[in-house]
Structures are given as C-alpha cells and as structure tokens.
A and B are shown apart, each in its own frame.
Chain A
C-alpha cells in the first residue's frame, strides 16, 4: 500500500494546476530582465503572478519580493530590518520563544556577529505569546527595539498567535511575521495586520519547492543580503525563477485547501485519538489553531521510536522539531510551553492537507494504539 501522508506541514503535494503552470513556463524562453519580446513576455507572467499573490495575501503587488525560500525571506527581513534600525541606535531583537529556526538562527547570528540583544517573548502553556510581557517590556525599553518577529501560527502545534494585538502594542516598531504555515489555510491580510514584513513559502500550499516571498511594506528600504542584478527592489538579486513563481501563484489562487473540511477531519482525528489513548495530551488544546496541525504527547514513549514504527506501518508523520546531527532534540516549542525534556521528546505532529481523506485518518487510528504500545515497551527496555 502507498503510505498515508500526514506531514503536510513539512511539505504538501504539488497541485496539478501548479505542475501544469510550471511545466508550461519551463518550456518558455526568456529572462524577465531582458528588454526584448521573449523577455517582456516572461516578465508579464511574473508580474501577473505577483498581482495574484498580492491579492491573496492582502498586499500591493509591489510589496512582494520573490526569494528562494521562506528561510531566505526571514533572513532578509531580520537582518535587513536590524541593520536599518541599528543605524538609528536600536539594538534589541524581540522574537517569540517558539519561532522556527529560520527566525531563531538569524536572530542568534545577529547576537553573535552584530552584537544584537535578542529577547525571547515567553508563551503560555497553551502556546500563545505572552502579550503582557511585550507590553511591559516595551513600556520600559521601546526605544531600544529594532524589530519584533512573531510567527502567524506555530509549525509544531498549529497555535495561532495574536499578531494584530502585537502590532498594536509595537506602535512604530517594525513587526515581521513568518506566515508560511498560515498562508492559504486561515484568513491572512498583510495590510489589515499592519505588518512591516511577512514571509510566505510556495511548497506549503501545493506550489513548488525553492520559491518563497517576502512581503515588505512599500517604502521600507533595507540592506540586501544578496547583491547583484538588483532584480527585486534592489533587496534581492538573482534571475527571477519564472516557472516556480508562476506555479506559486497558480497554487495559491486555486483555493483547493478547504479549511472547513480539514478542520472537521482534524477534530475527528483528535477525538478518536483521545478515545483510543486517553492519556494522550493534545498540545495547545485550549488555543485557536490551524486546521491541519495536530500535536500529541504520548507519555512514556520516545518520538524517534514512534516515527520508525509509524513509518513501518506506512504512516508518514513527524516530531515537528529540529534534528541535531540526526538526533531529535526536545522541541524548543514544547519546552517553552512547559513540557519537560522527557515529555517534549514523547510527542508527534500529524499534519493534514488538502488531499487528506477520512480513510487516511481511519487507517492511522487503526495502527496508532499498537505503535504507542510498542513504543512504550521499547522505552522501558
């Protein structure tokens, strides 16, 4: 049997419409920076795509900067905004304790190499940032803050963050938001949120790998990371990847991700897991969450053992947390939510996508109890 794929938060199948758009574009000649007819033709395709994506994310088309990945977009935003604001004498980078490594690591890099002071915003046991902390911090040190970065929703737990409230608290301080998990899944408007910058990634929504975007507020100029032809507002150089950009726009505008359907499947999955395994702990249970991400702690197990057993039972899922030398570390997200090292290492993330079906979920429910039982036995051995 083919495997049941419940790791859509890692990457999700490319949509047929996106594959079609991409393959058509692959056979089309032209560098979008060229001034001749073929160049102008692919330039039009890119600008069409930019407008589509702008509409979908509630930004101006001109605010979209195409990048090679979500990670690159986060790096441009964090480093660029930091350098710009440091020139004005501000040195503090405020990030949440549950950011993806694509935010944590550039922030740490700024601390190590650029003498930034990185402050982590704590989260509640339900995985939501502590706005009271932010308010108090800003009441004392707002003048020193270069930027604030908080993700729109967490990639491990799916917990949605109060971005509007944060932007209100921030006032004039730029707020960057990594929205790669939220885009296309829940309502998201760059302009309504009042953000300075926002990160998107195509392969999380049925587009191709290797293409992302930074939405950067019109009029904000920041230093570049990649210097060269100056293609994207002089902030990101490199020949534009027309086939991927076109496929990105095709995927997001197809609206094939039906949030209500995924939410219903998710809730069915959660209630049945809780029936089968009453001691399973749903992480972020009390918070508003993305439709597709479910994170359970199974006490007395080790997640790497569970992954092996799930894979052996033809189910692809994930711990959601990073690896260090291939060894799963305790998730910094779950630790920040009050888990111990031990319980954080006993957790699995199941992420549903547009293509997930009821029979997929039923199959997973049929194998899960045995996997957990074996996982517990292996943990005791």
Chain B
C-alpha cells in the first residue's frame, strides 16, 4: 500500500503553512516588524523623570534670584534673557513662558499650550513660595510607577492587537488575491475540493502562526519591559484565537472579489487605517468625542485591544471579556459568511 492519503483539509493547511514558511519577507513582517516597533516605542517611552519646561526670566536686578527660585521647581528649567531674546524664544517655542518681574509680576505665555499653562502654574507656585506664601493645606506627592500602569503596559497589548489584525487580514487577503490572480483558485474549483475547506484551511494555517506570533510578542514584552500577563493565559489564548478569527474573516471579505494585489492592498489599508487610529493601539480612544465612541467600540480592533488590556493588565476573568468575545465572534461569523457568499473563484 502506498503512502496514505491525508484528508484534504490537512493537506490544504499543511501546504499553506509550508508556502508561508518559504516566504522569507512574510516572516519578517509577521514576527520581526512588531518586535522592532515594540522595541523602538518601548525605549522612546521608557521610564525617566519628566522633562523640565524651559522658561525665560527677563534680565533685571532681581533676575538671578527669581531664576534660582524657579529652578527649585522640578518642572522648570529657567534662564535669564533680554527682552528681545525672550520675545524670540517664546515665539519659536524655545521657552514656554516668560516671567517679567520688572514692575509687577507678569507671566507671558500661549494659553492654548499645555506646557505654557503648566509652566505658568509651576512658576507662580515657586515664586509665591519664595516670597513667603504659606500653604494652608500641606500636601505631598505620590508618584505612580505601578506595573500595569506604565505606557509600555498600555502599548504591548495594543501592538499585539494590531499585529493580530495585520497578519490576520494580510494572511488571508494576500494569499487569496494572489491565488485568484494566478488562476490557482480556478484550478482548485475544477477539482472536487470543498470550497469551505479551502477557506477553513487558510484560517487553520493562520492559527499556527498566530500562536507563535502571540508567544513571541508576549514573551518579548515580559522579558524586555517586564510587561506581565496578570490574567489567565488560557483566557488570553482564547481571546487571541477569537480575535484572529474575526480578522481572518475581515481579510477574506476584503479579498473576496479583488482581481489584483493592488486592489486588495488598497482595500486592506482603507479598512485597517481607521482602526490603527481609533482603536487605541498607541493612545486611548477616550480622547475621541463621546459621539464617536459607540462606533469606535463596534470596531473589532477596539474590542480586541480593550479585552487584551483587561486580561493582561487588570487580570480580568473570562466573564468580564465575554461581551468583547461576542462582538469579535460576530465579526468573524458575519465576514466569513458574506465573504464566502460573494467570493469570486475565477
């Protein structure tokens, strides 16, 4: 008896996996790129004392004294400038505030600049205290450097979500459009192969890489930046699979009719761009207007990112992310169903 013939779904999945592994560039985009991004952003936002805001003190008899008083504030970096120099420095953004104490105390700054407003408050506090102001309510500062509240703790789950979106969509979309263009799809439907098995095998092969992808990124975050998974690993795994399913479906739908790689690339970017911006990858979507939030929350990446952060940072149990899982599963089911329905095989 010759070597046994394996079921088509296994053959299709194995073939798709081999094709991917033999595509060197693809490996970089799936594994290398997110690591480089995490590394770059991680270092850019590493823990360090807050920057001091440069402020100018107008030259005058008491200027040195005032500058010394301002220098006591941990938020300010004062220097003494002439009237003309100070004017230019403020205009060019080299200083955020000009302190003029020649007659009465005057603060000159742009009220729409957050640095300007902070410097104004800090400078006033420093100068008033130096002049003998007594605070009726003593207070002290407590700085938050808790694990799970740093920017990198926010960023790593976001990058994980973004990567699941990118590889899910490209993995499906690019392969399908390419196979269609080369008439491979047409050749395949000329066989008794079940169409649903072809699509399913694409997703199964994605799952294999998704597993590696998630492990690599999470391990990297943990080892390099100390970003822990505070919740259950099993819940995180389930979330990644359901998220991967939603984005594979979206990729399938995007590529279901495209005839060219250019066409599918354009469409992919069109669909992913709003999610890169709105779904809280790099910054929280709380900054968007309230009216936009229901729409933002309906996006699959928003749901995935929120749930990833809940599990990784806040140790959320399964019950707490059920709504997120439901939205993601709905996206997956709907996009797979519509994608298969309108699919162009030749």
Partners in one complex: no
Write the residues of chain A forming the contact surface with B, with a CB cutoff of 8 angstroms.
none
Which B residues are within 8 Å of any A CB, using their own CB?
Answer: none
